[in-house]
Chain A
């Protein structure tokens, strides 16, 4: 069964450093997403991406965040200057289309720890 994959599984970084989180969505999916979950809190939407551009973003997704699809398979989330409050689990998701009830499938996540 096709799966969304993410690397690394755990990233530790110092405050102020840049991090890039990587995702490989399911191969025939066209819509890509990033969510985050701070420990003990609910899953929160960050951004959606379609046809090489951002289709929607949340208030959390400020200028320090960016997304990119550098090639035909990878989808990345960059945090330019990490803050302590960026520590969270970051999930990538993908969906085949906007039709069909928007079923989104999630990767295993990257745990980001900012020290």
Chain B
């Protein structure tokens, strides 16, 4: 089983749509969770950390369900500039490394 699993997409949505991405992780010792975005051939950029209580940053809302080992990202009112690959990322307790999912590609069309 993959350590971090994501639907590869692509998700093709019109501007203004709401889109949701899901991610599951296999290691119950995972302690920190993030969403990064990656544009083509660029570096991963931190979008937001994901907290147990859920958190929101503008149009972006992240949720964590530790019991189901499931993380989600909701994007409201999609913009053309949201087109990118969204990476679900996990850190395991007592480890320094980030474990990346393969990413979900989002295409926002006019």
Task: Tell me the A residues contacting B by CB distance below 8 Å.
Answer: 31, 33, 35, 41-45, 48, 50, 55-56, 58, 89, 91, 98, 101-109, 111
Known contacts A43-B100, A103-B34: A91-B91 contact under CB 8 Å? no
Interface of B is mostly: strand
> How many chain-B residues does the 8 Å CB contact rule pick out?
20
The 4 closest A-B pairs by CB, nearest first: A48-B96, A45-B97, A106-B43, A43-B100
Residues of A within 8 A of B102 (CB): 41-42
* Cα-based distance from A109 to B40 in the complex (angstroms): 12
Known contacts A91-B44, A105-B46, A109-B43: A42-B97 contact under CB 8 Å? no
* Cα-based distance from A43 to B46 in the complex (angstroms): 14
Distance in Å: Cβ of A36 to nearest Cβ of chain B: 11
